[in-house]
Amino acid sequence: MDQKKLTMLLKKEMVPALGCTGPTAYALATACCRPYLTGALQEVKIYVSPTFLKVGFGVATPGTATPGIEIAAAVGLIGGDYTLGLQVLTPTTDADMKQAKRLVDSGILRVLCDWEKRGIYIRAEVISTKETIVAVVEHTHDGVSLIQVNDEVKFRAEIVGEEDPEYSSEQLTLDAIFSYVETVDSADIRFLLDGYRMNLQLAEAALKEPFGLSSGRAYLKQQWNGRKAPEDLFKRPMDYLPEDIVERSKILVAAASDGRMGGCRLPAMAAMGDGNQGLTATLPVGTAGTLMGKSEEQICRALALSCLMLFYIKIHIGRAAAFCQCAISASAGVAAGVSYLQGAEREKICGAVKNAISTLAGILCDGAKNGCALKMATATTTAFTSVDLAGAGVQMGYFDGICDDTLEETVFCITQIATKSMELLDHCMVDGILYKTQRKRTEAVDRIQ
Residue 128 pairs in a beta bridge with 41
Q: Please give the average per-residue pLDDT across 139-144, as a whole number.
A: 87
pLDDT beyond 50 at 39: yes
329 within 8 A of 310, measured Cβ to Cβ = yes
Residue 55: the pLDDT is: 76
Residue 431: the pLDDT is: 86
H or E segment and range at residue 270: strand 267-271
Looking at 186-195, 227-236, 359-368, 432-441, which range is the least confident one? Answer: 432-441
Residue 444: the pLDDT is: 60
256 within 8 A of 199, measured Cβ to Cβ = yes
Residue 86: the pLDDT is: 83
Kindly indicate the confidence band of residue 22, based on its pLDDT and cuts at 50, 70 and 90.
Answer: confident
Q: Please give the average per-residue pLDDT across 327-352, as a whole number.
A: 97
In degrees and rounded to multiples of 5, residue 142 shows phi and psi of -115, 25
Q: How far apart are CA 290 and CA 277, in angstroms?
A: 20
Mean of pLDDT over the chain: 91
pLDDT beyond 90 at 286: yes
Residue 163: the pLDDT is: 47
Residue 445: the pLDDT is: 56
Q: Which residue has the higher pLDDT, 352 or 425?
A: 352
3-state secondary structure of 269: strand
Residue 17 pairs in a beta bridge with 268
Looking at 217-226, 251-260, 423-432, which range is the least confident one? Answer: 423-432
pLDDT digits (tens, 9 = 90+) for 87-97: 898 899 999 99
Q: Please give the average per-residue pLDDT across 402-406, as a whole number.
A: 94
24 within 8 A of 88, measured Cβ to Cβ = yes
- Looking from the CA of 43 toward its CB, the CA atoms found within 13 Å total 10
User: What is the gyration radius of the CA atoms in the chain, in angstroms?
Assistant: 22
Q: How far apart are CA 269 and CA 124, in angstroms?
A: 26
pLDDT beyond 50 at 222: yes
Q: Please give the average per-residue pLDDT across 70-86, as a whole number.
A: 93
Whole-structure pTM value: 0.88
Kindly indicate the confidence band of residue 23, based on its pLDDT and cuts at 50, 70 and 90.
Answer: confident
DSSP 140-208: STT-EEEEEETTEEEEE----GGGSGGGSTTTS-HHHHHHHHHHS-GGGGHHHHHHHHHHHHHHHHHHH
The count of other CB atoms within 10 Å of the CB of residue 420 is 9
pLDDT beyond 70 at 347: yes
b/e map of 331-343 (b: 16 or more CB within 10 Å)? bbbbbbbbbbbbe
CA triple 119-125-127, angle to 5 deg = 170
DSSP 360-408: HTT-B---SBTTHHHHHHHHHHHHHHHHHHHHTT----TTSTT--SSHH
Looking at 118-132, 149-163, 170-184, 299-313, which range is the least confident one? Answer: 149-163
Kindly indicate the confidence band of residue 34, based on its pLDDT and cuts at 50, 70 and 90.
Answer: very high
Number of H helices, E strands in the chain: 16, 8
Looking at 65-74, 276-285, 375-384, which range is the least confident one? Answer: 65-74
How are beta strands 41-48 and 121-128 bridged, if at all? antiparallel
Residue 257: the pLDDT is: 96
Rounded to 10 degrees, the C-alpha dihedral 269/271/277/279 comes to: -20
Q: How far apart are CA 189 and CA 167, in angstroms?
A: 19
**CA distances in angstroms from 265 to 39, 77, 94, 224, listed in the order given:** 31, 18, 11, 30
262 within 8 A of 60, measured Cβ to Cβ = yes
Task: List Cβ neighbours of 297 (8 Å cut-off, separation of 6 or more).
Answer: 186
Residue 81: the pLDDT is: 95
Q: How far apart are CA 345 and CA 75, in angstroms?
A: 49
b/e map of 168-189 (b: 16 or more CB within 10 Å)? eeebbebebbbebbeebebebb
Residue 99: the pLDDT is: 95
Residue 19: the pLDDT is: 74
Residue 226: the pLDDT is: 78
Looking at 36-50, 167-181, 340-354, which range is the least confident one? Answer: 167-181
pLDDT beyond 60 at 346: yes
In degrees and rounded to multiples of 5, residue 168 shows phi and psi of -75, 150
